[in-house]
Structure 1
Amino acid sequence: MSSFTYSLFTTIFLVLTIFLHPSNAQLSSTFYSSTCPNVSSVVRSVVQQALQSDPRIAASLTRLHFHDCFVNGCDGSILLDVGGNITLSEKNAGPNNNSARGFDVVDNIKTSVENSCPGVVSCADILALAAEASVSLGGGPSWNVQLGRRDGLIANQSGANTSIPNPTESLANVTAKFAAVGLNVTDLVALSGAHTFGRAQCRFFNQRLFNLSGTGSPDPTLNATYLATLQQNCPQNGSGNTLNNLDPSSPDTFDNNYFQNLLSNQGLLQTDQELFSTNGAATISVINNFAANQTAFFQAFAQSMINMGNISPLTGSRGEIRSDCKRVNGS
């Protein structure tokens, strides 16, 4: 093959590769620098205000971004209500129904952003910015949020039911769900570290307390003292909606205590503890590192949030900029 033919072949191959696997280079931390330069501070201000009356909101907003990105990519589809062409909402999917929250705060952020720069900033980008503000206001890392996403025109309830990891799944299943959206084991462990703040309802883990997988016994990986506390808070026939701190040691602070809790068998959700208690798992060494080194965790978390925010964004002329995050324009 001549060098010219080889070069031509290589060029065509590269063009095809770029075409078939569009890069996320369209996202940029300076995307709104001329059209809405103060968008980050507007978002942060509304989140800060919400935190004064609701210390849980930081974790809730971070979770919304996560649950958005795992379904149809980061396109704001989790925010859509039923109406118009939306017959099934992601809000009513199993992982979100009566547990996803913070939608009112997203609406407040949207209102403030629209007052500053109408028709410019997408709801998908608002979720990404709100997550960063929530983590940094909670004592965690900051990062340059990549922006330029547009809002999707559809919701995918069945996708939400199948793509979002659920708290009783095996580590193998959860790892596969992360891999399906291009996230690796380090991303899995780092993003699980968001459970360093927030709450979970009894119904998401009570099978561990009394009857793990039909054994009639509690989960043997649960610390005995912690188990007794949880059994008291979540009695067998009690309310499944009672809230429990995901991190009992510092429930509203973003730190690396989550990983230290795993080392002492105090992971609240089955999927939390399995990261550390599954024999031979690749996640164990990552957890040991993050438990010993908060800086390493913060750096990895920031990078993994950027990686997650890059899942299949709508850019260019795809999608739209919703004027109301709850509904597609014109519906």
Structure 2
Amino acid sequence: MASSFIISFALLACALFLMSGTSSAQLTHNFYSKSCPKVFDAVGSVVRAAVAKEKRMGASLLRLHFHDCFVNGCDGSILLDDTSSFTGEKTAGPNNNSVRGFNVIDDVKKKVEKVCPGVVSCADILAISAFESVIALGGPAWTVKLGRRDSKTASLAAANSGVIPPPQSTLSNLINRFQAVGLSARDMVALSGAHTIGQARCTTFRARIYNDTNINAAFAKSRQSNCPRPAGSGDNNLAPLDVRTPNNFDNSYYGNLISQKGLLRSDQQLHNGGSTDSLVELYNRNPESFFRDFAAAMIRMGDIRPLTGSNGEIRKNCRVVNS
């Protein structure tokens, strides 16, 4: 089903480029067509192997791209280790003990450097890795725009500033935070569908399964067995974000919300009597609409404030700036 949408996604990308204030004319789908024509093969081979080894890794790589783009744009800053001159983003509240997959990105970078050294940015590697992860788990294809350059610094303060919506977010909070980076409420609901894959730690959903009333009772009880009270006990125990098909990129996440089986409080906000209920219901009954809108939203998210031209650099090692 995903392959049938590729042409329409490309056309939609052009329309989004004209409409979006976050787009950059310097990002193009064929940016590496001459300088590194096999970049997708190189990235894809490593990502597919990693996802085959651990299905959860697909969600982790997709999340890295999301958390990178929301903090000062899609610039690869999330990959930087702390230095004597700055504290990076890895230990920020939304990322600490949460974001993962850095070793896979290291492996991808090594593979790409063998194919075309000094050409492909770590920011673009994140974008392609997210794409390949979704494809590997059965999701849609889209036209990945490339040409980003890498930041020479990172900011713990920026990552802690609230730009990344926390799992306790209200619907208005979610809409506002996505709008702040040029993404619509529709984009937000579609991108939230990425929670059809991956897992969450007990500490992020404990309050919901014990305190919320807009939750299926049997579902809450089943999650409580692996997420006991009080806080501090089993905080790092994991549960799938999608109780039905946790390793397949499909639209079942939206059916979960309609059944009040959203694991995170912020998930259930999307179908809780508010303005986004109708979108959740659309994506539940029409997976093609979800795939199409998710792909369009990924293109738009990848356009958030990229470094291009002579800005930034092409890092040799994604964890450190060039010496």
TM-score (norm. length: structure 2):
0.91
Q: Measure, in 1, the Cα distance between the counterparts of 2:220 and 2:286.
A: 27
Q: Does structure 1 retain, via aligned residues, the 8 Å contact 2:200–2:241?
A: yes
Deviation string 1:202-231 (CA, Å, 9 cap, x unpaired) is 000101122xxxxxxx20011011011011
Deviation at 1:48, TM superposition (A): 0.8
Deviation string 1:104-158 (CA, Å, 9 cap, x unpaired) is 0000000000000000000000000000000011000011100000001111211
Query: Which residue of the partner structure matches residue 284 of structure 2?
Result: 291
Deviation at 1:22, TM superposition (A): 7.9
1:147/1:259 Cα in 2 relative to 1: closer, same or farther (>3 Å)? same
Alignment of 1:85-234 (within 5 A): 85=85, 87-161=86-160, 162-210=162-210, 218-234=211-227
User: Percent of aligned positions with the same letter in both sequences?
Assistant: 52
Q: Secondary structure at the match of 1:244?
A: strand
Q: Is 2:239 the partner of 1:244?
A: yes
How many residue pairs end up in the alignment?
A: 301
Alignment of 1:60-71 (within 5 A): 60-71=60-71
Deviation string 1:5-28 (CA, Å, 9 cap, x unpaired) is xxxxxxxxxxxxx9xx78511100
Pairing partner for 2:260 from 265, 277, 282: 265
Q: Does structure 1 retain, via aligned residues, the 8 Å contact 2:78–2:89?
A: yes
Deviation at 1:52, TM superposition (A): 2.4
Q: Measure, in 2, the Cα distance between the counterparts of 1:253 and 1:209.
A: 24
Q: Is 2:303 the partner of 1:304?
A: no
Query: Which residue of the partner structure matches residue 8 of structure 2?
Result: none
Query: Which residue of the partner structure matches residue 323 of structure 1?
Result: 316
Q: Does structure 2 retain, via aligned residues, the 8 Å contact 1:185–1:282?
A: no
Q: Secondary structure at the match of 1:200?
A: strand
Q: Measure, in 2, the Cα distance between the counterparts of 1:22 and 1:188.
A: 15
Runs of 4+ with >2 A deviation: none
Q: Measure, in 1, the Cα distance between the counterparts of 2:65 and 2:49.
A: 19
Q: Which moved more, 1:49-58 or 1:263-272?
A: 49-58
Q: Measure, in 1, the Cα distance between the counterparts of 2:193 and 2:248.
A: 12
Q: What residue identity is the alignment partner of 2:141?
A: S
Deviation string 1:48-101 (CA, Å, 9 cap, x unpaired) is 11112211100000000000000010000000001253x211000001001100
Query: Which residue of the partner structure matches residue 13 of structure 1?
Result: none
Deviation at 1:267, TM superposition (A): 0.4
Q: Measure, in 2, the Cα distance between the counterparts of 1:63 and 1:135.
A: 11
Q: What residue identity is the alignment partner of 1:68?
A: D
Q: Measure, in 1, the Cα distance between the counterparts of 2:22 and 2:279.
A: 30
What are structure 2's unaligned runs of at least 5 residues? 1-17
Q: Measure, in 2, the Cα distance between the counterparts of 1:136 and 1:307.
A: 18
What are structure 1's unaligned runs of at least 5 residues? 1-17, 211-217
Deviation string 1:138-185 (CA, Å, 9 cap, x unpaired) is 000011100000001111211111211100121111111101000001
Q: Measure, in 1, the Cα distance between the counterparts of 2:167 and 2:119.
A: 36
Q: What residue identity is the alignment partner of 2:57?
A: I
Q: Secondary structure at the match of 2:200?
A: strand
1:22/1:295 Cα in 2 relative to 1: closer, same or farther (>3 Å)? closer
Q: Measure, in 2, the Cα distance between the counterparts of 1:22 and 1:72.
A: 12
Q: Secondary structure at the match of 1:204?
A: helix
Pairing partner for 1:253 from 212, 230, 248: 248
Which structure has the bigger radius of gyration? 1
Deviation at 1:283, TM superposition (A): 1.1
Q: Secondary structure at the match of 2:131?
A: helix
Q: Measure, in 1, the Cα distance between the counterparts of 2:41 and 2:49.
A: 12
Q: Secondary structure at the match of 1:176?
A: helix
For the aligned residue pairs, the C-alpha RMSD in angstroms reads 1.2
Q: Measure, in 2, the Cα distance between the counterparts of 1:100 and 1:89.
A: 13
